Amino acid sequence: MKTNILYIHGYGGSKNSRTARALRNCLRENCNIFAPCFPINPVEAVELAQETLRTKGIDMVVASSLGAFTALQLHDVPKIVINPCLFPSRELPKVTDISADILRKFVEMENQFKEWITEINNRDFGETDSVETLCYGIFSTNDELFSYENDFLKYYPNCQVLTIEDTHRISVENVEKVIVPIVQKIGLHVL
């Protein structure tokens, strides 16, 4: 039985991004990689992700940058987020002309996310793990766009955080050396 993975690309990316191709190449024998094109509208992006989770039987999510923001809105699914953009309302206006309506939606989702993650962190799971602890944050040392590693550590204190030598768009080599082993490790828990 193959593991079903949803890959969510970052801003300006596509279903054929370098990371999606590398995941397909490295994991083709054991995993199905689903990588639809995601809209910039965060509400529509989350709806597409949720629909894909339901219809494709997704076991885990791998997401980059703005896509990681979308992934972090999804509940009860293991995630690997690469250089996550936790505050798109701050970052997107630096790189694109974004409508006030879309910007407002990002702000609303950022606030909802903070409330939700605070609730998750305040739960007492006893000896059982929450699926939310099956979340990995990957941060590049030479990220030329932004780094929300400290914020991620605050919101996800029980998650695995790895720092790698790379830039914002991680290399195929780091997909192979870092992301693929984490996918395989999570796969053991979800199948």
77-134, pLDDT tens digit by residue? 999 999 999 999 999 999 999 999 999 999 999 998 878 777 766 765 544 445 456 8
Domain ranges of the chain: 3-190
Asked if 169 contacts 18 with a C-beta cutoff of 8 angstroms, the reply is yes
User: What pLDDT does residue 131 have?
Assistant: 47
pTM, full prediction: 0.92
Taking each helix axis as running N to C, give the angle between helix 88-95 and helix 100-122, from 0 to 180 degrees, rounded to the nearest 10: 150
For the chain, the residue count is 191
pLDDT score of 191 more than 60: no
Note whether 134 and 186 are within 8 A (CB). Answer: yes
* Record: fold of 3-190: Rossmann fold (3.40.50)
CA distance 3 to 30: 6
Average pLDDT over the chain reads: 91
